[in-house]
Structure 1
Amino acid sequence: MDGGNNPARNPFAHLSAGAINLAYVHRVIKNELAVILAEAGPEISLYLDPPILAKIQKFMGASELKQRGVVSFHPMDPTVRELVEGCAPSAVFIVRPIPRIVEQIANIIKSESRGNPPEFTVVFLPTKSLECEEHLRQDGVLGSIKRITSWNANLIPLDGDLLTMDEPSAFYDFHVQQDVSPLFMTAKSIMSLQMIYGLIPRVTAFGPAGKRVAGILKRLNRELDRPPMVTPEISHAVIFDRSVDLVTMMCTQMTYEGALDELYGIDLGVAQVPRRVFPDVPTDKRTNPLFRDVRDQEWMRAASTLAKRMKSYATESEDARRNVRSNDLKKMRQVSSRLAFLQAEQESIAIHGALMQDVKANLDTDEFAERWHLEMSMVRSEVGDKYHELIEQYLYGLDPTCRSDVDAPQTLRSDFHKTMFRTMRLMCLQSLVNGGLKKTLEQYKRDFVNIFGFRHLLTLENLLQAGLLKPHTGKTWPQLAKAFNLYMENVGEGFDDISFSYCGYCPLSTRLIDLMARQGKEAERSMGEALKLACPASPTILDEQQTLPAGLKQQEPVGSTSAAGERANKPVTLVVFVGGCTVAELSTLRYLGQQHERDYVVLTTDVTTGDRFLSQLDGLEGRA
């Protein structure tokens, strides 16, 4: 990409800092948007489906959009019925292929009564839909549209080792609705990466969705007229079905970035920090230098690191002031060369000092401690009769003014939904680690409907369909946890295990992925019966080699001693999460990569938390 490594000049510089240069992906998708805008006309009014605005901002800022002819932006919320006054000669709609939105576009076009109407362009993201085009034809507006196209923005690089498809409903679509379209989109995304970085020689898949994606990928590879003549930069792809490890999704993340995501929510790399913490929210936390140093640490260790950086900054600032007062020209030049760093460090410390203070205030509460200890006692399979009692305390501890009341004030409804999803997480976690629920299942269902209303009967049905709640069938979690060493008893300052991400619990997903990446085909044999416990619905691993085009061979590590060379020659594993992953799981993969001389690059359908994951199964609130 153009520009140096200074984020002030190039906000996307961090995309080229990983094992493979994801700036190429960014450039391809950005150029596709640029072509769409150029073909629309020199002056454009842009009408955006609200969820798409954040995606566009990951590729083009407002100033660049204006340079490309965009003179106005208008959100396509449900209240929009006609074009705004003073619309530009070209009106471009960038929307998801959803019938409700297509009907809204048709109504807007039909309402246009000017003698010289604008030229209409409809852009679907990520693909066109024949159903939507037919809808426009039936509404009689297809002939009024200059062009219908698509913007294939289903690969959004968020960091040097992370891409998201931003498809939060993928798990629901496949595991509840039996809709395979998210799997096809995932395979297409892997194909897009192969066209840039070469054919991936080895593909491994866990779980029903993972194997289906691998099968689609194999078919798409066979259908290629000309395979990519690029020496493979990725040696191995592991496609992981979220349904194989739902326990991790229900647990509370304990890394610093994970705590921020649980507390505030992080949307496409941008933390949604409330103004009470500080008024000026950073545009993108991933370009913040201090954040990159502490994001993967357990939050208490991150607080310690931040305190040390504060002390170091104070010492260096005092030295700088002393050198300036000394009137020594040489020392003054040294201060000048460090001025930009000190200013950036000061801003970072101010931001993360405020964030850490708020994180600590939330995580030091009795309510949080009780909930976290309850989660960990479930994961450890400790016998006790408090599970049902404590979960019922959550159910009946809600503010009565907002219980099942859609007309409650926004702040109360927000707290209400947070408590609802946290309660759902505990109910589902208990079900998952106990092999289902006995008498408590019907009791929970009655309590849930009593508190949240009959409208949530569909929510409960979705949880049952997804396997998050189920009748008792037999408890296998203790054997699974022991076989894969999923719980560490003593987690201290110097511990050396991926359990730091959940303060004692090691994500099953990461254990399985790491075994496959390091042990290869021997991994399935070494797992033995434990694999059947982890994947009862699909108790085998698909592990296949893809034939490289003639004349190409896979890059092999050559043992270079330089920093850049060492990074370039480590084996690279692409980890594909079908159904979403958490930032704490990303942290564990980064940690394992450092421990085992391997680079992991993650492609996920969505970066999520337990709350947002369950919101997609909410029969009322889930999908737009």
Structure 2
Amino acid sequence: MAQIPNLDNAPVNLASLREQSQKDLLNILKNIRGKKCLVIDPKIGGSLSLLIQTSLLRENDAELRHLSAEPVQTECSKILYLVRPQINLMKFISSNIQYDLSKGVQREYFVYFVPRRTVVCEKIFEEEKVHHILTIGEYPFYLLPLDEDVLSFELDLAYKECYVDGDTSSVWHIAKAIHKLEFSFGIVPNVRAKGRAATKVADILNSLQVEEPVNAADMGIPEINTLILLDREVDMVTPMCFQLTYEGLLDEILQINNGSVEVDGTVMGQQDGKKIKVPLNSSDKLYKEIRDMNYEVVVQVLRQKATSIQQDYAEVKSTSQSVSKLRDFAKKLYSVPEIARHVNLAHHLQSFTCKPSFHARLDIEQTILELQNFEACFEYIEEMIHKQEPLVNVLRLLVLFSITNSGLPKKNFDYLRREILHSYGFEHMPTLYNLEKAGLFKKQESKSNWLTIARALQLIVEDTETANPNDISYIFSGYAPLSIRLIQHAIRSGWRSIEEIMKLLPGPHVDLKRGASSYSSLDANPIFQSNLDRVADGRRSLALVIFIGGVTYAEIAALRFLSSQEGMGYDFIVGTTKMVNGTTMLETLMMNNV
């Protein structure tokens, strides 16, 4: 199965976006005549694997290398660096070039920034005295389709940059990417944003429309009807919860990277233990069917499918079948490799989910979400620290505990902070500082409003039906993601109906009707009509939902579920700075440790 996802069933023509990005890259290669060495920033390498086949790059006389501190080993006289504008990467490039110069090697050097050049990076080249021998360009790669309804801006550090470092360059990047989309699909008429970064994106989007206007008259009816921008900061509870959909669990346990998981061959039933990559996207029809189901249900579905084929096989062997029945059976056999693949993966996941510690973890999560038994939750986290469980696992529950309680009382906060440093080492002080700065682990300064929010938005749902769900709470077996409840309200009746709850959540919220010279807050726009969102000709409307700071697979599953509900009338495309889970998010805040 192809690593590059099939986009034929996308609600808008995402394939054209991908083709344009491919074309832009191939043009860069063609403009550098002859044989060249393409040195790729490793992070971009993963993204490019979902964009273009490496054989196409080789056909354009490019041999591939990954950028590192080590000198580039190549016979080519032309070297093309494809990199994000990051200072450490500029230093790698400079040292590579200086090494060549010290050896008397003469080459032509090209640096293409993804998606745009920055003054800071060019300054590094000047300081390192290599600027004069470089040809500098840009590769405007802003959006990567991960699947037929998911787009990524590939901004791994957006959350940390926005909420810890105070660097809002990713906000500009997102606005620019949306504006580029509008040149393909028309001006989005309705924009709703919640959070500091989200409202800033809406603001920049307005400015870009003034500077580089999309001609609405030429575009006809916009293909995307509504844009919802949501800061990750608005709902940090959901990513800290352990995902219980099949796809979410695969990400939690095996970590989905660039649309695939890497596992030992033995997991997939092979004799040798070599690592193999298993692609995971909508091209796999069975995966598309089961990815968003609660994990417990997936095991039953796979068992039924395997049993059905077994029974058909027994029938074919024991009786003489008509040609048409044999043909039907042969069609079923095509799905056997897919079934085997997911049976193997599900069996591997089960080795984790059957452990008592897994269920204990889910129980304590539920207790924290319901704001029950503070002491029991505190002691559970304390015990994790004393057992020296992986620090990121401790922090994940600690952050959930802190957010739902609006911080911890000073005595508890100081105690847990001290215990973490004693157990894991004082080199983790920067991590605790980052968590505090982002408001994820802090001292309690006011009474918690979590239960008020949870009750008003029906976030905790008892007796959730996971096999035949009728609500998004099936995703976490009883917890409905706050972020998706907000989107539900934004689509159905607007945020005005939950105005008081919106004020309890971080950051401002705005509602923008495009074409106006500015946008106003919902306070200043009391008459909100959700029917303004409906497209004129009765087609299903399309909403682009963008998460600034990352989205989980569980939240995407919840949006797909909403879209499938009777009377919804909306399809969703999800845009995100990066696919995340609680662990990968917290790891970005732990990166500065020595």
Q: How does 1:408-447 map to 2 (within 5 A)?
A: 419-438=390-409, 439-447=411-419
Shift of 1:344: 3.7
Which whole-Å CA distance do the structure 1 matches of 2:439 and 2:512 have between them?
Answer: 28
- In the other structure, the counterpart of 1:58 is 50
Residue 144 (structure 1) aligned with residue 115 (structure 2): no
Which whole-Å CA distance do the structure 1 matches of 2:499 and 2:432 have between them?
Answer: 34
Q: Which residue of the other structure, out of 309, 315, 326, is the alignment partner of 1:313?
A: 309
Shift of 1:443: 0.8
Residue 503 (structure 1) aligned with residue 495 (structure 2): no
- Alignment TM-score, normalising by the size of structure 1: 0.86
CA contact (8 A) 2:80 2:109 kept: yes
Q: How does 1:438-587 map to 2 (within 5 A)?
A: 438=409, 439-472=411-444, 473-492=446-465, 493-519=467-493, 523-535=494-506, 537-538=507-508, 541-547=509-515, 556=535, 558-559=537-538, 569-587=539-557
Shift of 1:342: 3.8
The one-letter code sitting in structure 2 at the alignment partner of 1:516 is A
Q: How does 1:161-180 map to 2 (within 5 A)?
A: 161-180=149-168
Residue 73 (structure 1) aligned with residue 44 (structure 2): no
Q: Which residue of the other structure, out of 112, 121, 130, is the alignment partner of 2:110?
A: 121
Shift of 1:554: 9.2
Shift of 1:284: 4.2
Task: Give the secondary structure class of the aligned counterpart of 1:577.
Answer: strand
- In the other structure, the counterpart of 1:242 is 232
The verdict on how the C-alpha distance between 1:274 and 1:394 changes in structure 2, with shifts beyond 3 A counting, is: farther
The verdict on how the C-alpha distance between 1:97 and 1:489 changes in structure 2, with shifts beyond 3 A counting, is: same
Q: How does 1:225-240 map to 2 (within 5 A)?
A: 225-227=213-215, 229-231=218-220, 232-240=222-230
CA contact (8 A) 1:205 1:211 kept: yes
The gaps in structure 1 that reach 5 residues or longer are: 1-6, 399-415, 560-568
CA contact (8 A) 1:490 1:504 kept: yes
The gaps in structure 2 that reach 5 residues or longer are: 271-275, 518-531
- In the other structure, the counterpart of 2:525 is none
- In the other structure, the counterpart of 1:46 is 38
The verdict on how the C-alpha distance between 1:285 and 1:233 changes in structure 2, with shifts beyond 3 A counting, is: closer
Which whole-Å CA distance do the structure 1 matches of 2:214 and 2:543 have between them?
Answer: 24
The verdict on how the C-alpha distance between 1:169 and 1:284 changes in structure 2, with shifts beyond 3 A counting, is: same
Which whole-Å CA distance do the structure 2 matches of 1:305 and 1:202 have between them?
Answer: 40
Task: Give the secondary structure class of the aligned counterpart of 1:277.
Answer: helix
The one-letter code sitting in structure 1 at the alignment partner of 2:246 is Y
Which whole-Å CA distance do the structure 2 matches of 1:338 and 1:526 have between them?
Answer: 53
Which whole-Å CA distance do the structure 2 matches of 1:144 and 1:75 have between them?
Answer: 21
The one-letter code sitting in structure 1 at the alignment partner of 2:205 is L
Which whole-Å CA distance do the structure 2 matches of 1:261 and 1:126 have between them?
Answer: 27
The one-letter code sitting in structure 2 at the alignment partner of 1:440 is N
Q: How does 1:369-408 map to 2 (within 5 A)?
A: 369-398=359-388
- In the other structure, the counterpart of 2:571 is 599
Q: How does 1:145-160 map to 2 (within 5 A)?
A: 145=134, 147-160=135-148
Which whole-Å CA distance do the structure 2 matches of 1:619 and 1:65 have between them?
Answer: 33
The verdict on how the C-alpha distance between 1:180 and 1:555 changes in structure 2, with shifts beyond 3 A counting, is: same
Task: Give the secondary structure class of the aligned counterpart of 1:474.
Answer: coil
The verdict on how the C-alpha distance between 1:126 and 1:621 changes in structure 2, with shifts beyond 3 A counting, is: farther
Shift of 1:253: 0.5
Which whole-Å CA distance do the structure 2 matches of 1:247 and 1:13 have between them?
Answer: 30
Which whole-Å CA distance do the structure 2 matches of 1:375 and 1:284 have between them?
Answer: 28
Shift of 1:346: 1.2
The one-letter code sitting in structure 2 at the alignment partner of 1:543 is D
1:280-323 deviation line (CA, Å, top 9, x unaligned): 43244442221111000000011111111112222344455568
Q: How many residues align?
A: 566
The verdict on how the C-alpha distance between 1:273 and 1:592 changes in structure 2, with shifts beyond 3 A counting, is: same
Q: How does 1:354-365 map to 2 (within 5 A)?
A: 354-365=344-355
Which whole-Å CA distance do the structure 1 matches of 2:204 and 2:514 have between them?
Answer: 13
Shift of 1:359: 1.2
Which whole-Å CA distance do the structure 2 matches of 1:47 and 1:321 have between them?
Answer: 56
Shift of 1:53: 1.1
Shift of 1:354: 0.9
Which stretch of the first structure deviates more once superposed, 55-64 or 251-260?
55-64
CA contact (8 A) 1:317 1:342 kept: no
CA contact (8 A) 2:431 2:593 kept: no
CA contact (8 A) 2:312 2:329 kept: no
Shift of 1:217: 0.8
The one-letter code sitting in structure 1 at the alignment partner of 2:464 is V
- Alignment TM-score, normalising by the size of structure 2: 0.90
Which whole-Å CA distance do the structure 2 matches of 1:382 and 1:554 have between them?
Answer: 40
What's the % identity of the aligned pairs? Answer: 28
The one-letter code sitting in structure 2 at the alignment partner of 1:594 is S
Instruction: Give the CA RMSD over aligned residues.
Output: 2.3
The one-letter code sitting in structure 1 at the alignment partner of 2:119 is L
Residue 368 (structure 1) aligned with residue 358 (structure 2): yes
The verdict on how the C-alpha distance between 1:584 and 1:62 changes in structure 2, with shifts beyond 3 A counting, is: same
